[in-house]
Structure 1
Amino acid sequence: MRRSLFAALAAGCALAHAAPDQRITLCFERQEVQPWRTLDGGGLNFELLAEVARRTGVTFDYQSMPWKRCLEQLKSNQVGGAFAVSHNRERKSLGAYPGAGGAAGDAQADPSKRMHTDSYLLVRRKGSRLDWNGKSFLNLDGRIGFQLGYSVGDFLRAQGVAVDEGSQRSDELARKLIAGRLAGAAMGGGDATRLLRGPLGARLEIAPVPLIEKPYYLVLSHAFMASRPQLAARLWDAVEEVRTSPAYRKRERERMQLGGGY
C-alpha cells in the first residue's frame, strides 16, 4: 500500500515537472479580425487552437500585442509561437513553418497545415477610379497604404507602387484614405468588411478583384522547433485534422454566412 502511494506520488511529481513543457505561449496581433479572432479570445482561430490543444494535451497561453512586436518576439524566442502568420521569403528567419520537416530554411510552407486562408483587398474612397485588374493597378495616383509589418507590403513593392507603412491599425489606414493622404489601402478581408460596416464605411468601397489570397499558419519559434520537433509536428498535424473536420468546417461555413469575413 505504502509502495503504491509512493509510486502514485512519484508519478504525480513527474507530471508536475513535465507540465511546463506542455505550456506554449503564443502571441497574436492586438486587433480583432473577424471571423478569425477577437481580443477576448473569440473567433475561429481560437476555436481551432482550443481543439488542437485538447487533441495534443498542450496548454496555449495567449499574449496580444502589436504585430511587429509579436514577430520580433517570435524571432528572438521570447514566445513559443505566433498564429495567423502568412509566409514569405523574409519571414523564414522568424520561425518554423509547417513544411518539409518544418525547418525555417524550407522553400515553401505546407498549405495543407494552414489555419485558414484570407484575402487582401483593395479599399478605396467611394467613387475613386483606382482599380486592380488582377495583374496591375489602374488609375493609381498616390501611395497604397498597409499596416506595419504586414506581408502584403512585399506584394505591393513587387508591383512597383509607392507605399505607406506608417499605420498600426486598419482604422488608421481608413482615416488616411478618407483624408486623401492615400490613394488606396491594402487590407485583410475581415478588416475591410468590418470597416465598411462601421461609421467610416459610407465613404469607402472595396475593389471587386482581390489583390492576393494567402494561407495563414501557426508558426513556432526556432528554439521550440529545435527542442521539441515531434511536438511541433503533432501540433501542425492537429491543425490540419481540426480544420478539415466536419464539425469545424460546418462552424466556418456558419460564420462566413453571417458575414464574418472573406
Structure 2
Amino acid sequence: MINNGLKLWVALSVSLFSGLSLASQTIILAYSDTQSYPFQMGSGRDVADPPGLSIDLINKSMSELGINVRYVRLPGKRVLQYLKTGKVDGAFILSHNAQREKYASYPMVEGKLDSTKRVATLGYYFYKLKNKPLDWDGENLTQTNKQVGAHLGFSIVRELEKRKVKVYEVKTTSQLFGMLKLQRLAAIAVQDSTALDFLNSNDYPDVEQVQPAIITKDYYLVFGQKFAESHPNLVNQVWDTIGSSRDSVLSENRHKYVD
C-alpha cells in the first residue's frame, strides 16, 4: 500500500516533471514560402521581419508556455508532405479538409472543429479584368474557354475542382495576376488579403474583385497526428493559448503591416 505522503510526493513529482518537459520542448513548425499578407510575410526560406500576424500569434502563445519554436519555410505541397511524414511537428496556417484530417490533428470539441482556436478567417474571391464578364452567382461559374488560376497546392484548388471549374496552378501571386492581365486566364481565385497586398503594391487598375466570396474558411495551426498523440497536453495548451490570445495579438500587431 502507498501511504498518503508518498502519493502526494509522486503527484508533485509528476506535475513538476510535466512542467519541465513542456518548458524545455522545442517544436518544428512549417509554413509556406509564399507570402500571404498579412499573416505570412516575405517569400523564400527565411522568416521575414516582421514575420506576419500568424507568426506573431504563435510566438506569443509559445512564449507564454515556455516552448521553443523552429520555423521551416517550404513550398505549399511540401509543407503538407513534411507534416504527413513527421519531418515537422506542425504546420500553419491550414484550412480543414477530410484528406488532411487523415494525417493532421485539428482542435476539436465534441467531434467538431473548434473554430475558437483558429488562427485566422480568410476569404477566397475571384478577380477578373474590369472589361471582361464573369458569370458567377456564388455557387456556379459559367464555363469559359479559359481556365481559372490559383496558387499551386492551395485548398481553393480542390474547392474549385469540386465545382467542375478547370484550374491552372502556378507558384506565385505575380504569375497569377500577370497571366490574368495577358488574358491567359478567365479569372484568378486568390485570398482577399493576398490580393489586397499585391494590388496595393502593383499597378493593376483594370483588375477587380468579384462578389460574393467563393468561400470563407477558418485557418489553424495543426499538428501531425503522431506528434499530437505523443504530446496531447502540449498541443491542447497551444490551441487554448492561441484561442485566448488571438484577438489581442492581432489587434496589437496589425499596425506593423499597414503602410
Band of TM-score, shorter chain: 0.7 to 0.9
Counterpart CA distance in 1 for 2:190 and 2:77 is 16
**What is the aligned partner in structure 2 of residue 11 from structure 1?**
none
CA RMSD of aligned residues (A): 2.5
Q: CA deviation at 1:199?
A: 2.8
Q: What is the match of residue 102 of structure 2?
A: 93
- The DSSP-based 3-state class of the residue aligned with 2:69 is strand
Query: Once the two structures are superposed, what CA deviation does each residue of 1:130-159 show, in whole Å capped at 9, x if it has no partner?
Result: 142222224744211111111111211121
Match of 2:73, SS?
Answer: strand
2:136 to 132, 149, 162: 132
**TM-score when normalising by structure 1:** 0.81
Deviates more, 1:121-130 or 1:209-218: 121-130
Give 3-state SS (helix, strand or coil) of 1:208's partner: strand
- CA distance in structure 1 between the aligned counterparts of 2:135 and 2:69, rounded to whole angstroms: 42
- Counterpart for residue 205 of structure 1: 208
Alignment correspondent of 1:59: 68
**SS of the counterpart of 2:211?**
coil
Aligned to 1:172: 175
Q: The residue matched to 1:223 in structure 2 has which SS?
A: helix
In structure 1, C-alpha distance between the alignment counterparts of 2:103 and 2:227, rounded to whole Å: 12
Change (3 A) 1:96 1:84: same
Alpha-carbon distance in structure 2 between the residues aligned to 1:147 and 1:232: 29
Q: Distance in 1 between matches of 2:87 and 2:120?
A: 25
Equivalent-residue separation in structure 1 for 2:244 and 2:23 (angstroms): 25
**Paired position in structure 2 for 1:149:** 153
Measure, in 1, the Cα distance between the counterparts of 2:211 and 2:174: 21
CA distance in 1: counterparts of 2:64 and 2:253, whole angstroms: 19
Q: How does 1:102-251 map to 2 (within 5 A)?
A: 108-138=112-142, 140-165=144-169, 167-244=170-247, 247-248=248-249, 250-251=251-252
CA separation of 1:46 and 1:192: change in aligned 2, threshold 3 A: same
Checking the alignment, whether the CA contact within 8 Å between 1:26 and 1:60 is kept in structure 2 is yes
**Partner Cα distance (2:140, 2:99) in 1:** 23
- Write the letter of the residue equivalent to 1:205: E
Alpha-carbon separation, structure 2, partners of 1:160 and 1:200:
32
Letter in 2 for 1:215: D
- Give distance in 2, aligned partners of 1:90 and 1:203: 37
What is the aligned-residue identity percentage? 28
Q: What residue identity is the alignment partner of 2:52? A: G
**CA-CA distance at 1:189 after TM superposition:** 1.1
Name the CA distance, whole Å, in 2 between partners of 1:60 and 1:52: 11
Quote the offset at 1:202 in angstroms: 2.4
CA distance in 2: counterparts of 1:21 and 1:69, whole angstroms:
28
SS of match in other structure, 1:132: coil
Give distance in 2, aligned partners of 1:240 and 1:119.
20
Q: Which segment is superposed worse, 192-201 or 74-83?
A: 192-201
Contact 1:121 1:192 survives alignment (8 Å)? no
Instruction: Provide the aligned length of Structure 1 versus Structure 2.
Output: 236
CA 1:98–1:34 in 2, change beyond 3 Å: closer, same or farther?
same
Q: Distance in 1 between matches of 2:221 and 2:28?
A: 12
- Kept in 1, the 8 Å contact 2:53–2:250? The answer is no
